[in-house]
């Protein structure tokens, strides 16, 4: 059997999304942003999730890093929104994997 030189872009993207969604707090954050279908401040989320504000900030940072959410600075706060284009990409790549 021939050895593959590197993983495909789809496999790498799926792994990236799977990794960031592997924590329940991040799934909760995504679900909250989907539920409100709008942007919100971290203070709106921290009231609903059983973690400290600093921990929430780290999870928001991870979601933002992979592009599933966006953050808009409105001093002294940051407003977070779901990146709908990247969320669709994430859903599509997961569905492709599941349906293979």
Domains of the chain: 9-99 (1.10.10.10)
pLDDT in tens, 11-49: 999 999 999 999 999 999 999 999 998 899 998 999 899
| pLDDT of 3 strictly over 80 | no
DSSP label at residue 77? E
Are 26 and 20 in contact by the 8 Å Cβ rule? The answer is: yes
pTM of the predicted protein model: 0.88
Are 31 and 1 in contact by the 8 Å Cβ rule? The answer is: no
Are 31 and 68 in contact by the 8 Å Cβ rule? The answer is: no
**Which two three-digit tokens encode residue 29?**
């954050």
Name which of 99, 65, 69, 71 is nearest 87 in CA terms. 69
pLDDT in tens, 50-100: 999 999 999 999 999 999 999 988 888 889 999 999 999 999 999 999 998
């Amino acid at each position: 059997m021939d050895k593959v030189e590197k993983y495909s872009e789809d496999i790498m993207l799926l792994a990236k999304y799977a990794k960031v969604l592997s924590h329940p707090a991040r799934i909760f954050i995504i679900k909250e942003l989907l539920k409100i279908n709008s942007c919100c401040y971290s203070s709106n989320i921290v009231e609903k999730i059983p973690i400290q504000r600093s921990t929430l900030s780290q999870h928001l940072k991870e979601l933002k890093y992979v592009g599933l959410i966006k953050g808009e600075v409105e001093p002294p706060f940051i407003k977070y929104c779901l990146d709908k284009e990247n969320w669709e990409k994430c859903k599509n790549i997961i569905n492709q994997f599941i349906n293979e």
